[in-house]
Chain A
Amino acid sequence: MSKLLTMRAAIAELVQDGANVALGLQLEQMIPFAAGHEIIRQKKRDLTLIGPISDILFDQLIGAGCAKEIVAAWVGNVMMGSAYNFRRAVEQDGMKVFTLTNFTVALALQAGAMGVPFLPTRTALGSDITRGNHFFHHILSPFEAKEPLWAVRALNPDVTIVHVQRADREGNAHCWGNFGVMVEGVRAGKRVIVVAEQIVEPEVITSDPNRTVIPGFLVNAVVECPYGAHPSPVQGYYKRDDAAFRQYHEHTKTKADSDAWLERWVNGVEDRRAYMNQLGGCRVEELGVKRHAYAAQTDYGY
């Protein structure tokens, strides 16, 4: 059964006001910016944003007023440093942030994926991150005497949104590059939106099952959206648009500047196609693959 939807329909149907939304799970790669921008255009409100690090997408959602609270290890602009909407929201508006670490975000999602209430870890013993933080509970190992550990509470996002290179119409998806916590996030998600650069026939997926990171039965919607991760990179499709991250940093230092940026790049464009047109053909061409690098053939024969 085809689950192909437009981005507009997928976000309208699957992201409700007040939802816990996990996105940006592959860290700096394949960040679902097009989906995030559609969330902004549809004026979704009171979202809890979940991710390990967020390289400016959370900042945009916060600036647009979509977020109520954040569950993350790091929110900023990776090459430039701080992200200003996040800072304004926390420093001036008292937005709630549940601070985790990268590893404990992975553990929380993995616990959710496994259907257990928590997973134990030795990280963050002695760190203030755990203080007054309901994601952490001090426990003793049941198997060794006096072995303290942190139990990290399971996270099951209402919606997990990921970007991949290719998927079939049912949501079986191939991805290559770094995964971060995407596989855990998809398994933990109550609903899943897969955004793909390309929709392919099922035979393409089953020709290389080791590259399948998402089985379609976990997926609620598949969206075909070329350049949907810009300005983050998609291996084999386009590189990182470093200038865009620099410009975002420069153009969002004040609330008024940030509003203008959102008007120009999000609310002022209808969809990703219009966004790419605004970016301009030269820039898009410049970001494209200049030298292909194909992997060695893989023989699944027997």
Chain B
Amino acid sequence: MNTRPGQAVDKAALNSRRKFLLDSARAAGGAAMVALGLGLYSRQSVSLPASAIRPPGALDEKDFLGACVRCGLCVRDCPYDTLKLAKFGDKVATGTPYFTARDIPCEMCDDIPCVKACPTGALDHSLENIDDARMGLAVLIDEENCLNFQGLRCDVCYRICPVIDKAITLEMEHNVRSGKHALFIPTVHSDHCTGCGKCERACVLEDTAIRVMPYELAKGELGHHYRWGWKEKNKAGESLVTPDIEHKYNLPRGQSYDIQGEGLIIDDDSSDASPFSSNPLDTLNRNSLDTRGNARGTEK
């Protein structure tokens, strides 16, 4: 009525601006809520369960989750149906590929079709030799149940290994239980194990004694300052610290000591040099002589 038209417009504009700001704030607030929840959720599901193994050539888990578009093309090109896509509700990030070695292990195809199929490079295309794949590391985790550790010759994990005698070797040890037999200990070597999981699949136990584990669980790490003395010595060709003192044994004439071989060596030709008397009575009397504080052995 009294208000001039300009004023009314201003008021309307003010109202609409206020409404716009409020609406925007509400929308932004809602989106921020979603973002926070999602951020926390994604942070949480970065941890891959140890039993889930990524395909060959997979980037580090963190990079992988930023590179994999969850398309499943690697799964489709896997000829052995090893790979599967994680479903919502699985412990693996939804839609990402993995396999469970105990169900179907990786057959280590020479042409690595899964890597070739990956459109993004989440599976690194620079992997050309499947032997260079490091999907994980086999660990003989249950020595108490492993048959070989009990002295039996199961050897199945060793025999099935596609990189036999390099990734898994049998190391002979003394069988203390029987006292006279050998143990053939399956021993995994990280410089050759691809983590294909065939050993885990083949283990004859009810539940496997050897498992492929993610590297960060399977491997320790040497202190960065630490050096293996013998390796450094080999590299340098000589000892890097005080030169080893050659140990000298104070032995009677005609005798020497071989620390790694025969032990005490007595020269046969100089029977004179024997520390033992040729008279048997001397040996019998030795203890009684000793108790009296006399020098051991008798003068020749």
Do the two chains bind?
no
Binding site for B on A (CB under 8 A): none
